């Protein structure tokens, strides 16, 4: 459990796990029957309704008080103040459906307070244009404030928490079933890997991605901690230098051979986007002036979601395989200390940088290495991995970002820039491990 500065427990924060335990998420495909599908969709819809009522409540509060940005001290009411106002938000849904809306709303509010409250009030670009013409912006246009969730796009999911064994995975006639509140008959699922045998299910998130249903089961479980490796050979140390175009370059000079998953689907994504815009423009309006979307439009939306989900899954899969391989093959992995958000802003690489998932990759390497008793080393932020010559150690002060090849004026070595940086990181790792007595043969470099 987290504590505040006075050492008091903050209500609702995560309880710390005992030593040797970890939390893992396990994702499975779920196959609801035709009878179950509408019930799941209804739960997703009710979650959204409660969430949107929370947003409406906040907006009403802000409008009455006059909002001009800054920190929001807003008391989030219990969901029952909302569910009691609508007959259809009844007990046919798992009560966690409503609670989940509250949790998500609180998270959105927190995000605003942590990220946007310190900045001056900002509006979306499209709205700024309208404001020039004298139109008044609405709260919905303020950057960072919680927004209404749309029925067409956005999340189709809810999370249910474990209370007294209400979430279970069992078997019926040789098939695996997930039992969650309001679905005691079970949802069939593809249990492609077993959950840890002595694990404890903490929560389950049911979601629809395109036209597929998935569940992410969060499990706390004890893991076997391998003893920390000692007597390490330098050949069993590798270093990875972040590469903007190919995830990383390692100290052996190999590339990650990283497929640009988003690039691969970009064309398809563009086509679907265009098609959606066209359908939106041609949609007839109802009596309130809202467009009435066709079946075809909804199908395309699902298709779009499916495409995006597929790219994200492929990427994650690739990163898992690579990090498994590296943490199996080597006893120590050295990476540089990167502030990814900062880097993205500095170099205007935003989209690309987040696209290749280096942050996610580093997290995977870290926890996998730790579990296997391997060393995960992060070079000091001020370690000049790019500027040093890996052959002679001379430092080149004025190395430009455009110089893709490192040419040393001192020893005449010529080497690929990223490979050179990775070798420097490896040397850093060798020194660090040697200093702390983990090397088979200590070095002095």
Contact residues for Zn ion (CB under 5 A)?
A: 389, 391-392, 394, 408, 410-411, 413
Residue 429 CA to residue 334 CA, distance in Å, equals 6
Min CB(253)–Zn ion separation in Å: 17
Q: Which is nearer to Zn ion, 135 or 403 (CB)?
A: 403
Q: Which is nearer to Zn ion, 338 or 413 (CB)?
A: 413
- Three-class DSSP category at 269: helix
Min CB(390)–Zn ion separation in Å: 8
Min CB(413)–Zn ion separation in Å: 5
Q: Which is nearer to Zn ion, 256 or 430 (CB)?
A: 430
Instruction: Residue 233: name the closest of 398, 433, 60, 444 by CA.
Output: 433
Residue 233 CA to residue 330 CA, distance in Å, equals 10
Q: Dihedrals φ, ψ of 93, to 5°?
A: -95, 150
Count of other CB atoms within 10 angstroms of residue 222: 16
Min CB(385)–Zn ion separation in Å: 15
Residue 254 CA to residue 389 CA, distance in Å, equals 18
Q: Which is nearer to Zn ion, 82 or 430 (CB)?
A: 430
Q: How far is CA 193 from CA 27, 176, 196, 197, 328, in A?
A: 9, 11, 9, 11, 20
Residue 33 CA to residue 373 CA, distance in Å, equals 44
Decide if 158 contacts 43 (C-beta within 8 A).
Answer: yes
Q: Which is nearer to Zn ion, 81 or 412 (CB)?
A: 412
Q: Which is nearer to Zn ion, 62 or 391 (CB)?
A: 391
Provide the β-strand partners of residue 21: 222
Min CB(393)–Zn ion separation in Å: 7
Min CB(409)–Zn ion separation in Å: 8
């Amino acid at each position: 459990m987290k504590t505040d500065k006075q050492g008091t427990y903050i209500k609702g924060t995560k309880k710390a796990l005992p030593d040797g335990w970890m939390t893992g998420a396990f994702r499975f495909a779920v196959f609801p029957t035709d009878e179950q599908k509408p019930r799941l969709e209804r739960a997703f819809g009710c979650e959204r309704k409660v969430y949107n009522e929370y947003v409406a409540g906040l907006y009403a509060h802000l409008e009455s008080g006059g909002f001009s940005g800054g920190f929001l001290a807003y008391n989030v009411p219990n969901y029952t103040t909302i569910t009691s106002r609508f007959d259809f938000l009844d007990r046919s849904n798992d009560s966690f459906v409503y609670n989940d809306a509250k949790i998500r709303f609180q998270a959105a509010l927190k995000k605003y307070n942590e990220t946007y409250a310190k900045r001056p009030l900002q509006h979306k670009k499209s709205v700024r244009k309208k404001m020039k013409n004298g139109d008044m912006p609405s709260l919905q246009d303020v950057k960072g404030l919680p927004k209404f969730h749309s029925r067409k796009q956005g999340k189709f999911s809810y999370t249910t928490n474990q209370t007294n064994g209400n979430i279970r995975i069992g078997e019926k006639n040789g098939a695996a079933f997930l039992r969650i509140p309001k679905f005691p008959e079970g949802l069939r699922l593809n249990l492609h890997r077993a959950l840890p045998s002595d694990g404890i299910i903490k929560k389950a998130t049911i979601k629809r991605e395109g036209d597929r249903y998935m569940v992410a089961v969060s499990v706390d479980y004890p893991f076997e901690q391998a003893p920390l490796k000692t007597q390490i050979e330098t050949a069993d140390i590798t270093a990875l230098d972040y590469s903007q175009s190919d995830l990383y370059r390692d100290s052996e000079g190999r590339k990650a051979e990283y497929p640009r998953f988003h690039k691969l689907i970009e064309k398809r994504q563009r086509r679907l986007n265009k098609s959606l815009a066209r359908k939106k423009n041609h949609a007839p309006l109802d009596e309130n002036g809202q467009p009435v979307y066709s079946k075809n439009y909804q199908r395309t939306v699902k298709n779009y979601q499916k495409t995006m989900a597929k790219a994200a899954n492929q990427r994650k899969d690739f990163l898992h395989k690579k990090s498994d391989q590296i943490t199996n093959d080597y006893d120590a992995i050295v990476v540089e200390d990167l502030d990814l958000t900062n880097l993205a802003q500095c170099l205007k690489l935003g989209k690309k940088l987040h696209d290749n998932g280096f942050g996610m990759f580093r997290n995977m390497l870290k926890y996998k290495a730790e579990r296997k008793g391997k060393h995960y080393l992060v070079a000091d932020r001020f370690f000049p991995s790019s500027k040093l010559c890996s052959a002679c150690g001379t430092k080149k002060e004025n190395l430009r970002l455009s110089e893709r090849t490192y040419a040393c004026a001192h020893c005449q070595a010529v080497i690929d820039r990223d490979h050179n940086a990775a070798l420097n990181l490896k040397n850093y790792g060798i020194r660090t491990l040697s200093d702390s007595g983990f090397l088979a043969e200590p070095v002095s470099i």
